[in-house]
Amino acid sequence: MSESAIFRDRSRLSPRFIPEELPHREGQIQQIVHVFSGIIRDPDKFPLTVLQVIGPAGIGKTSTVITSTRRIEEQFKKNRLGLKTAYINLKLQGGNKYAIYRFLLERIAPTLPAQGLSAEEMLRYLLQYLRENKEYAVVVMDEIDYLIKTSKDTSIIYDLTRLNEFEPDKPCNIKGVVFIARSTEFYSRLDPAELSTLGRMSIEFNPYSAEQVSDILESRCNQAFAPRAVGSDIIDKVASITTSEEVKGDVRYALDLMLYAGNLAESEGTGRVNLDQIRKVHGQIHPSLTTEEIEHLSKPHIVSLIAVIKALKAKKKPYVELKEVRLHAEELAAQFGIKRMEVEDYLDDLKIRKLVDIRSLREIGLHGASLTELEPLLMGRIKADK
């Protein structure tokens, strides 16, 4: 049954949904599966393997790695072996090394209490737990570049890439560590020892071509939309927007565009999505701030971003001073019942997320002029969050 004349199942366009099929990433899936193909024969002898996946935003890195680890898990199952994947998104789960290892422990060994353990003890327990239970694990550290850029402690790289040296006389049942990053910029913040253990084994993901984006959208839209609600003219238009200089191949933006245009078609009662609706929605949403990115922002982050927008609008200038942003932030914080917030802390993070442009304390602006149009959307988000 369809949801409406337009949608069959709009949740299929959600950023959290991982489709069964990933057109044009089969090569990369096989490459990753292949790296671990020797494990099954003799898992205890298989060495700890560190892999990096590098490529720009929204081109299927996370989806591909998760699909690959699922396939590896299936191979294990077929051979009556147990493999767990511990996936951590460091932008979401962030925090310090301690919080990250506790999360790892919860994922892999939920019966072990993490309370009161040091970071090193947690790793030791984790390895011991896996050995005793005859289980294996692969750890996926997504958005490692974000963590390294925001944290002073980069030793997590050193720890995870040397898990096998932790207890050298015993097998290490964590067989793989996969780091996912948007670029290799974060290398510059690592020390030589970390850089060397990280190794050079990386799989590069290149942005999709317009034809490839069309194939991907076709496959996604078949699942999400009612038959005939989306024509090939729409798919091609969205594919060309997606591969433009402005969007840089971010498929997440393409899926947002399809979802919002579908909603519009529904409310306008046009029976199918038309090009005007695509253009209209494209003018209203912004490539650097997709629904997923907004969902990742905390309330004080959103308040800080709106404060920048409000200050810019009030001054009618491309840059404003920190004190002006602070005034608006205080007002908003009071309005939304946020007790104490240091707007500077959040601005730094928004800068790393490439939303806010900070040239100096007297020159704070936005990445992308049309972000100012997002104020209503952001306001809606904090109101809904109450």
Ligand X SMILES: Nc1ncnc2c1ncn2[C@@H]1O[C@H](COP(=O)(O)OP(=O)(O)OP(=O)(O)O)[C@@H](O)[C@H]1O
Region binding Mg ion by CB under 5 A among candidate stretches 56-64, 127-135, 253-261, 317-325: 56-64
Nearer to Mg ion, 15 or 231 (CB): 15
CB of 99 to ligand X, least distance (A): 20
Of 62, 154, 242, 274, the one binding ligand X (CB under 6 A) is 62
> Choosing among Mg ion, ligand X, none, which partner's interface includes residue 368 (Cβ < 5 to 8 Å by kind)?
none
Nearest Cα to 318, choosing from 359, 379, 258?
359
> Choosing among ligand X, Mg ion, none, which partner's interface includes residue 241 (Cβ < 5 to 8 Å by kind)?
none
Q: What's the Rg (C-alpha) of the chain?
A: 23
String of contacts with ligand X for each residue 197-236, x by CB under 6 A: -------------------x---x----------------
Number of residues located near ligand X, criterion CB under 6 A: 21
- Beta-bridge partner residues of 49: 176
CB of 199 to Mg ion, least distance (A): 21
Nearest Cα to 198, choosing from 179, 170, 171, 172?
179
- Helix ranges (H only) for 251-290 are 251-268, 275-284
State the pairing for strand pair 135-142/174-181: parallel
> Rounded CA gap, 45 and 196, in Å?
22
Of 6, 35, 51, 59, the one binding ligand X (CB under 6 A) is 59
Give the angle subtended at the CA of 33 by the CAs of 124 and 130, to the nearest 5°.
20
Nearer to Mg ion, 6 or 247 (CB): 247
> Rounded CA gap, 353 and 149, in Å?
10
Number of residues located near Mg ion, criterion CB under 5 A: 1
Place of tokens 């692969």: 138
Residue 62 binds Mg ion, judged by CB under 5 A: yes
Residue 19 binds ligand X, judged by CB under 6 A: yes
Residue 60 binds ligand X, judged by CB under 6 A: yes
Residue 23 binds ligand X, judged by CB under 6 A: yes
Q: How many residues does the chain have?
A: 386
Nearer to ligand X, 124 or 296 (CB): 296
Of 8, 10, 12, 24, the one binding ligand X (CB under 6 A) is 24
Output the furthest CA–CA distance in the chain (Å, rounded): 68
Of 175, 237, 252, 326, the one binding ligand X (CB under 6 A) is 252
Please state the φ and ψ torsions of residue 358, each to the nearest 5 degrees.
Answer: -115, 110
Of 4, 31, 63, 96, the one binding ligand X (CB under 6 A) is 63
Contact 216/250 with Cβ under 8 angstroms? no
> Choosing among ligand X, Mg ion, none, which partner's interface includes residue 75 (Cβ < 5 to 8 Å by kind)?
none
Binders of ligand X among residues 150 to 189 (CB under 6 A) are 182
> Rounded CA gap, 299 and 266, in Å?
30
Of 57, 100, 147, 258, the one binding ligand X (CB under 6 A) is 57
Of 15, 82, 94, 231, the one binding ligand X (CB under 6 A) is 15
> Rounded CA gap, 357 and 360, in Å?
9
Nearer to ligand X, 56 or 82 (CB): 56
Place of tokens 């007790």: 339
> Rounded CA gap, 349 and 355, in Å?
9
> Rounded CA gap, 137 and 43, in Å?
11
> Rounded CA gap, 11 and 185, in Å?
34
> Rounded CA gap, 46 and 37, in Å?
10
Nearest Cα to 198, choosing from 169, 261, 155?
155
Region binding Mg ion by CB under 5 A among candidate stretches 48-56, 59-67, 99-107, 364-372: 59-67
Nearer to Mg ion, 62 or 288 (CB): 62
CB of 326 to ligand X, least distance (A): 30
Q: Which residue is nearest to ligand X (CB)?
A: 60
CB of 104 to Mg ion, least distance (A): 18
CB of 213 to ligand X, least distance (A): 9
> Where on the chain is the footprint of Mg ion (CB under 5 A)?
62
> Where on the chain is the footprint of ligand X (CB under 6 A)?
15, 18-19, 22-25, 55, 57-63, 182, 216, 220, 251-252, 255
